[in-house]
Amino acid sequence: MLSATLQAAFNDQINFELASAYVYLAMSAHFDESSLPGCAKWMKHQAEEEVGHAMRLLEYVHDRGSSVALGAIPAPTGDFGTPRDTFQQALEHEQAVTARIHKMYELAQSEKDYATVSHLRWFIDEQVEEESSAGEIIAMFDLAGQNPGALLTIDGRLGARE
């Protein structure tokens, strides 16, 4: 069974992952409305990944004999700006997720809950990938500048994501 502190941290992170999915869905809708279907698809895929992360955490809580308590999900702001701005917001959001996962990891270490330490390593590795991916896309937008053809090329590339 998880300690009460770790159980609360897991429940909070489950909710944060679901809220993250909601943010990515709002970003996807923004891109659909901006006629950037590739960017929209990329963000929708991110939303699906976040739900998967929440489920992975939820299942772990249950595997440890603890209870899940879901909270309310706040509405996203919906003020995303340019494609580059939107991906910058996504990167900053992922950096916040990383900080939260690191705090959970540190808590598990301090409690000598080695099973949880092991479980959280997957999330730490996943966050490296998430931040790297968003950063690479921002770099592409920086290279593209205001070139509409380059923007459409980036959109097509992002739409090819499986």
pTM: 0.93
| Structure tokens that stand for 122 in this block | 């997957």
Under-70 pLDDT residues of the chain: none
Structural domain of 113: 4-159
pLDDT value for 77: 83
In this prediction, residue 162 carries a pLDDT of 75
Residue 106, domain CATH? 1.20.1260.10
- Gap between the Cα atoms of 107 and 6, Å rounded: 7
19 within 8 A of 71, measured Cβ to Cβ: no
How many domains is the chain partitioned into structurally? Answer: 1
Distances (CA, A) of 102 to 2, 40, 121: 17, 29, 9
Return the number of other C-beta atoms located less than 10 Å from residue 128's C-beta: 11
Q: pLDDT exceeding 70 applies to what percent of the chain?
A: 100
Q: Could you tell me which residues come within 8 angstroms of residue 57 by beta carbon, excluding any fewer than 6 positions away?
A: 10, 13, 14, 17
